[in-house]
Structure 1
């Protein structure tokens, strides 16, 4: 493989700290593996003294395999591994830990579920609640933060601290540790035992780290200790692709590397070998709006191929059908399905696209678990109202609605067997407020019985007061109300085509079966199988496709509504940058005019990707996709005049059209 000048510079770096800024498609994996080879073959470093670290087991195995290929299959004793595998090795040598002492994710969920139930904490969805707790425990440990300084967003501070301490006491009493403890214990060991730290410094004299932008606080402190006085840290990453803050990743660590190591050599891999020029230039225009980043000039090795297509459509239904048609067109042109991807911000976004692909039997695979929104706790409560309205007497259904919204009705008034509201009324005759609440509930249920599904959900929301209940719940849980309302809007929009409950319930059953079938197919999915990929922005990182479709590029969706602070908006922009740079040749971005009958605005990121108008001025040189290079001779709000050297003529063009279609570049 022939390397460019910047790649060669990185490969030949030997001693001292080095920061390699490696953007999308810049060949960073090849640089890391060849630098490892160079250290051994050219610099005479013993392979046992080299450590190559990355973040996932799959990435470590791929890196090791590529290195072995470079070394022509020779068994060279370099160490390739994840942070967790390396740190567990250190702990195993120091304390004799075994694999049986590691708390699995399943075991962690089980322990936390038991503790939550014992504390009788209130929540609507147990699975979601436990998952949020797990995420917060990881954050506390990755920051090496005293528990009293952490403020939970999942439950009250006192409850979270009690849960955290009870969880730690439980696993420690069993002599176990979880994956996050591996970091904490390794940090404490190396800090408290300089003799052990020196042993590992002698072992790992040259440390190479991939995806450095994803490192967290405690991982960084450990590798700094391991590098010791030699400071042979070779770190490779892209600050513009740091998108895992919710897991503890801190992009500011990479941005501050040269402050920690002023003598560090900084190398920019400035060629993108993956994407077309339009995609590279558009993505750079957008990401340049982030203020906390390394400034980079990146060029594409690929020619101009096609403009970035920005589609402005009315609704998600139109979007889904357009994507389905585009996929068929590209496939008819000879592009395999596996070279196409649909990318979205959250896994609730692609439901209509999934339906459209299923309807036309187009093969696809999900990189993420696509949730069945009918299994969400909000859907369960809405469906319970409707089941009771059409005759259900199940206690489980009544428990779902009894105090949603708040009616101050006691659970013990519901019998273990079939529920009869008239009998309950007889039992509470001495409580006027309870009689009034039950009579109102009975009246509401009678009204629901005669309605179509869409109207029924609307009545539950507005007439019964379910929207207000969600607002109060969001306030207690420190959530944005819009998050819950979006789920409710989605459920209501799915019900709209159905005229009666029978047909809607049949759809719910069939939809669940189709999703389950998809999940089974994902288990058996082979990498070489020809299918369109559907992925969240987070899961798409590291992948590439000939054709990429980005769903719902609207304010409130991307950037997500929860992102308010400047740092949060910058992370959302990095996510969009990751999505855009997955495309090699063709990029389609979809903008909706409305969703759930509510107007939407285009995402600020879309406007940033479009040509930078501030660069347009009379006398400036531009390039038109069809007419070549030219000089601007006239410019107003609607039109642009360009003299083209090749044809020797001036053309007056629609400014809006050439910018929207990506026909101009500087």
Structure 2
């Protein structure tokens, strides 16, 4: 049954994007309702399916985005049983590697997937005595091999040596990290064209969110499926080239001509140009960093809000925390901004660790949230992460549909591992979960007890299944390491089960994040510091002005009402850092407060 939406639910641009037949290439400016449009488009495609054997696929950059889109589709009353949604890594694992691993010599004997913590531990061990860190060893695969993310070419030979040992160790132990998931999926598709043909017959439609963060190897994997079918799968590619900030990891904004050539399919180029998020003043400001001449029109209900836009280039680094605290208090007490609508940004996590600790101490009346303060990895492919979502959320009418979906996912995973779940459904799981009363204040201890108790109630001995025990150990090893690090940085409160519960609830405190980590977010007040040349962007970036402009575009466009920019006076080995070049060159009359 076709999806019908109420009059006024979508703008003309959004409706056109959804109703345009065939393949669509959609450039969406910040605050244009991209996620809403994508959710309606996917819901519409699901409603139009005429076979129970067909699927609709949505590829998102993060698991958080996948959850948000899936929730929005569910609220539209559309059955999501024939929807697959997740990251490209999850897609490759579920649809290519697991079913077709027997066709690759490195995978035929079986494999296990390690998480980022396990990967970092191996690299940390291999880096000892070589003057390298695990951060230096970041890499990404292309169709022809791998590329190093480290911009310091003097380290490359050492990094290559470490990675050679790392790859050998993974291969000898039949382990896959996140990057090798892409590598093996790409090789399977290249060597076995029939896989793409099979998938093209299964998928009616493929949506790709944040295309500007997609790597060539990922484009090629998806293009193989899209090009293999005559009329299906149709595709819907959406993003914003101005927000291409993951180029150091291989992400780039492919244009519509290149995409058409790669997929061998024509695309209709469309745009979402109306910004419903920010005031007209904020929109006019971040237009200074619009490197792709994208059309942006302020259309927020509060577009006439008297925004404050400030730039502080005089505060000393030792006084930075006090200045940020002042801006927080000003936003809350003078402007009436709720603390949950404030975001504090810095370029790198190293800048945020001590700052967060200081702010927590100096502003005890406020709460602080943020991806860097999460006490465990958001590893959507880890079975126990899925169980943790149910452990750490409470039963409520608002959460029922979401928790029921999570419960069914857990049971499906148990069944896939070989556990007998034939007498169970999602409602049985929720009843068992809701009956538990666990009196543990420590988050790690709480999850251990919950996992043990829920499996006993379901009459499942997870220790009998290698995949579940390996993922259990990986989940707690990475969680305990993360908690220890955060505690050592002065964030003792993250040990508490209350901090664990915050991971799956709507934000209630001040968000603390990097510029990269905040993409997709929006806040009434954004406070950003560390906006210094050689930091925004990295000192070795080959395209410093372009990269810095895109970072400044992203952080500025997160703000609805107020934007406070800080280029503090901070020393480096050559003297004092200068303000980031694109910010320095903006001719703007800033406000004073």
Assess same fold via TM > 0.5: yes
Instruction: Give 1:365's match in structure 2, choosing from 347, 365, 368.
Output: 368
Alignment of 1:316-331 (within 5 A): 316-331=317-332
Instruction: Give 1:13's match in structure 2, choosing from 20, 23, 40.
Output: 20
Distance 1:190 1:529 in 2: 40
Distance 2:15 2:363 in 1: 49
* Counterpart for residue 405 of structure 2: none
Distance 2:216 2:205 in 1: 21
Distance 2:250 2:537 in 1: 20
* Counterpart for residue 238 of structure 2: 236
Matched, 1:285 2:302: no
Instruction: Give 1:26's match in structure 2, choosing from 22, 32, 52.
Output: 32
Q: Which runs of 5+ in 2 are unaligned?
A: 1-7, 374-485
2:351 match: secondary structure? coil
Alignment of 1:477-488 (within 5 A): none
* Counterpart for residue 122 of structure 1: 130
Deviation of 1:255 (Å): 8.1
Matched, 1:82 2:87: yes
Distance 2:153 2:487 in 1: 29
1:205 match: secondary structure? strand
Judged with a 3 Å threshold, the aligned counterparts in structure 2 of structure 1 residues 264 and 183 are, in CA distance, closer, same or farther, namely same
* Counterpart for residue 272 of structure 2: 269
* Counterpart for residue 115 of structure 2: 104
Distance 1:237 1:279 in 2: 20
1:592 match: secondary structure? coil
Bigger Cα displacement from structure 2, 214-223 vs 317-326: 317-326
Judged with a 3 Å threshold, the aligned counterparts in structure 2 of structure 1 residues 176 and 569 are, in CA distance, closer, same or farther, namely same
- Map Cα deviations across residues 45-66 of structure 1 (whole Å, 9 max, x no partner): 8682321111222322222221
Distance 2:33 2:319 in 1: 38
Judged with a 3 Å threshold, the aligned counterparts in structure 2 of structure 1 residues 594 and 178 are, in CA distance, closer, same or farther, namely closer
Instruction: Give 1:605's match in structure 2, choosing from 576, 582, 585.
Output: 582
Q: TM-score, normalised by structure 1?
A: 0.61
Matched, 1:550 2:528: yes
Distance 2:151 2:15 in 1: 47
Distance 2:544 2:283 in 1: 23
Judged with a 3 Å threshold, the aligned counterparts in structure 2 of structure 1 residues 296 and 66 are, in CA distance, closer, same or farther, namely same
Judged with a 3 Å threshold, the aligned counterparts in structure 2 of structure 1 residues 149 and 114 are, in CA distance, closer, same or farther, namely closer
Deviation of 1:585 (Å): 0.8
| Aligned residues between the structures | 455
Deviation of 1:349 (Å): 3.3
Bigger Cα displacement from structure 2, 339-348 vs 253-262: 253-262
2:133 match: secondary structure? helix
Matched, 1:132 2:136: yes
Deviation of 1:576 (Å): 1.3
1:80 match: secondary structure? strand
* Counterpart for residue 392 of structure 1: none
Instruction: Give 1:569's match in structure 2, choosing from 519, 528, 545.
Output: 545
Distance 1:8 1:583 in 2: 26
Could you tell me whether the CA contact under 8 Å between 2:59 and 2:208 is conserved in 1? yes
* Counterpart for residue 344 of structure 2: 342
Deviation of 1:559 (Å): 3.8
- Map Cα deviations across residues 57-76 of structure 1 (whole Å, 9 max, x no partner): 2322222221122125x354
Distance 1:535 1:76 in 2: 34
Could you tell me whether the CA contact under 8 Å between 1:68 and 1:75 is conserved in 2? yes
Could you tell me whether the CA contact under 8 Å between 2:29 and 2:295 is conserved in 1? no
1:535 match: secondary structure? strand
Distance 2:539 2:259 in 1: 31
Greater relative CO (CA pairs within 8 A, separation 6+): 2
Judged with a 3 Å threshold, the aligned counterparts in structure 2 of structure 1 residues 243 and 198 are, in CA distance, closer, same or farther, namely same
Deviation of 1:594 (Å): 5.6
Deviation of 1:42 (Å): 5.4
Alignment of 1:29-44 (within 5 A): 29-41=35-47
* Counterpart for residue 310 of structure 1: 311
Deviation of 1:575 (Å): 1.2
Distance 2:297 2:586 in 1: 15
Judged with a 3 Å threshold, the aligned counterparts in structure 2 of structure 1 residues 99 and 534 are, in CA distance, closer, same or farther, namely farther
Instruction: Give 1:515's match in structure 2, choosing from 459, 481, 490.
Output: 490
Alignment of 1:141-152 (within 5 A): 141=141, 143-146=142-145
Cα RMSD (Å) of the superposition?
3.4
Could you tell me whether the CA contact under 8 Å between 2:343 and 2:510 is conserved in 1? yes
Judged with a 3 Å threshold, the aligned counterparts in structure 2 of structure 1 residues 215 and 108 are, in CA distance, closer, same or farther, namely same
Could you tell me whether the CA contact under 8 Å between 2:274 and 2:297 is conserved in 1? yes
Distance 2:328 2:294 in 1: 36
Deviation of 1:321 (Å): 2.2
Could you tell me whether the CA contact under 8 Å between 2:278 and 2:298 is conserved in 1? no
Distance 1:149 1:547 in 2: 36
Distance 2:357 2:147 in 1: 45
- Map Cα deviations across residues 272-302 of structure 1 (whole Å, 9 max, x no partner): 1111111111101222xx3xx3532433333
* Counterpart for residue 661 of structure 1: 591
- Map Cα deviations across residues 337-358 of structure 1 (whole Å, 9 max, x no partner): 1111111112343545752552
Matched, 1:248 2:243: no
Distance 2:203 2:538 in 1: 42
Q: Which runs of 5+ in 1 are unaligned?
A: 371-510, 612-658
Distance 2:347 2:149 in 1: 28
Could you tell me whether the CA contact under 8 Å between 2:29 and 2:272 is conserved in 1? yes
Deviation of 1:213 (Å): 0.9
Distance 2:155 2:584 in 1: 40
Alignment of 1:207-226 (within 5 A): 207-226=206-225
- Map Cα deviations across residues 168-213 of structure 1 (whole Å, 9 max, x no partner): 3332233332222221222122222222221111111321111111
Q: TM-score, normalised by structure 2?
A: 0.68
Deviation of 1:307 (Å): 3.9
Matched, 1:63 2:74: no
Distance 1:574 1:313 in 2: 24
